[in-house]
Structure 1
């Protein structure tokens, strides 16, 4: 049994499908909430089922696999984070992605097919409404502040992230379907911006004046700083980010989903 949904030059299929007569498989499915309580489900969906799907695709003759890894594998590693440094996963989600990178490399060597893992940093942008509490922090802050709510940040709001627009992520995926050898590649903005500055930008671009409400951080395994080195992805994929955080926030502030239209 299979399900397919045409979307331009792409088709979306479920994992029961054995892909045949396709040149490239793009795999983005995962449990993405790093604080998900059921770790067994995380490893089953993000790792075991992904490996099984990859091997079925390779046996069926797929010529290239592009899949979503995550900058979460760096954990508390030094920044700017480079693809060659030792991974330090702090959550089950991050560990599942790190394990999948190892298996993807093994499958690539076994079948002689390029398998490209894209280490996305903190992705944000339009189209996140359905994700609920799993939506990006940028998206949630824009929505809250647009509704007149004070933004809630963990003390003292100085944790920093490499925020990357979904438009740049889509561009990176497209590039990876066309070029690049097996391995992992960073996909981010190359810039670290703290949560306080995200709030300040939303205030400025939205003509708002809402001060943060600081609360304790209840989470273990919390990354405090991400800033990705984009040298390798630029050289091998031709990836260069094009949407800075100011313009990305401006787009969200004017989007229909944020404004309830």
Structure 2
């Protein structure tokens, strides 16, 4: 059995679909299952059992002998949430408890960290574990992920195989339920479909032209391909960046969405809200040398390829 937490969410559901495609069908799906909209993400997938996240630790204590691998993708991911207690409980402590169980029961463990741990990028975007304790996230969500990464690295005892994945700006199928936390691709598609135009944030940094703010956008199918590869690799434990390795502008992304929709470009700019302006990131780019260095060689989708597939095969259907 393979455990996937956050099973009905964006990345979790895509990971289960990937596992099914590779004929792994004894999936233990862990989540709350209280959102009918999100539940649709897994309704056509092969799943052995659904387990509520609140009782999963007890379930694992009983069924650990049957569990081959744990993917801990579930988390509270709202970067605008300021309930530090809730984030600490669901993101940090929950992961600590699961980590300790994977040590006890000798289960390999891959968990979702986040590029939000990098803050404004004062130390770059290099997944050198010697730098991780210095990072300064910009919000409580990023801090909850940072707290676990630092704790994990400080532990004398670790699962026999483990990996933490710092997801960058992931986009793709099954993110529709995330609302304002969904990717810019999703928002651009909906805004262009409804209004024929796309509004981007104006640059308030003289080093960047309007629309030339840059992010590392990665297609969700590349993310789950890496997860699947790690399930078989099972060596070189540690914390890894997971982005495309290539920063692209919001203008590039928006143009790609217009092209995929076969619509004429109509792009305008609005001021970045003042309450986020001083914490706005103008550049993120994952250094992917570490993952490549342990043998992951599959090519990632470039932005235009990923956007075209997402729009034409999922959003336009």
Report the TM-score, using the length of structure 1 for normalisation.
0.87
State how far apart, in whole Å, the 1-side matches of 2:303 and 2:230 are: 23
How far residue 49 of structure 1 moved from its aligned partner, in angstroms, is 1.7
Q: SS where residue 52 of structure 1 aligns?
A: helix
**1:240/1:94 CA distance change after superposition, 3 Å:** farther
Q: Quick check: 18-27 or 203-212, which moved more?
A: 203-212
Is the 8 Å Cα contact of residues 188 and 241 (structure 1) preserved in structure 2? Answer: no
Find the counterpart in structure 1 of residue 80 from structure 2: 35
Q: Is the alpha carbon distance of 1:148 and 1:241 closer, same or farther for their aligned partners in structure 2, counting shifts above 3 Å?
A: farther
- Unpaired runs of 5+ in structure 1? none
1:146–1:253 CA contact under 8 A, matched in 2: no
Match of 1:68 among 99, 112, 121: 112
Q: In structure 2, how many angstroms separate the alpha carbons of the residues matched to 1:120 and 1:111?
A: 22
In structure 2, the residue matched to 1:55 is: 100
- Identify which of 100, 105, 111 aligns with 2:148: 100
How many pairs does the alignment contain? 255
Deviations 1:116-137 (A, max 9, x none): 0011110001111122222112
1:87 aligned to 2:130? no
RMSD of the TM alignment (CA)?
Answer: 2.4
| TM-superposed deviation, 1:112 | 4.9
Q: Which residue pairs with 1:172 in the alignment?
A: 226
Tell me the CA shift for residue 105 of structure 1. 2.7
1:130-183 superposed Cα distances (whole Å, 9 cap, x missing partner): 222221122211222133343232223322100000000001111222223221
Shift of 1:65: 0.5
Q: Tell whether the 8 Å contact from 1:83 to 1:184 is kept in structure 2 after alignment.
A: yes
CA contact (8 A) 2:223 2:242 kept: yes
Q: Deviations over 1:188-237 (max 9, x none)?
A: 11111111221122223322222124232332533221111111011125
8 Å CA contact 1:160, 1:226 repeated in 2 = yes
Q: Please say if 1:17 is aligned against 2:61.
A: no
Indicate whether 1:211 and 2:255 are aligned: no
Greater mean alpha carbon deviation, residues 123-132 or residues 85-94: 85-94
Asked whether the 8 Å contact 1:152–1:214 carries over to 2, the reply is: yes
Which structure shows the higher helix fraction? 2
Unaligned residue ranges in structure 2 (runs of 5+): 8-15, 31-51, 204-210
Which residue of the other structure, out of 116, 122, 126, is the alignment partner of 2:163?
Answer: 116
Other-structure match for 1:132 = 179
| Residue deviations 1:34-84 (CA, integer Å, cap 9, x gap) | 11132322222111122122223332x142100001111111225862112
**Equivalent position SS for 2:186:** helix
CA distance in 2, matches of 1:230, 1:164: 12
In the TM superposition, structure 1's runs of 4+ consecutive aligned residues that sit over 6 Å from their partners are 3-7
In the other structure, the counterpart of 1:200 is 255
| 1:80/1:250 CA distance change after superposition, 3 Å | farther
Partners of 1:234 and 1:240 within 8 A in 2: no
User: Which position in structure 1 is the counterpart of 2:212?
Assistant: 158
Could you tell me the TM-score, scaled by structure 2's length?
A: 0.73
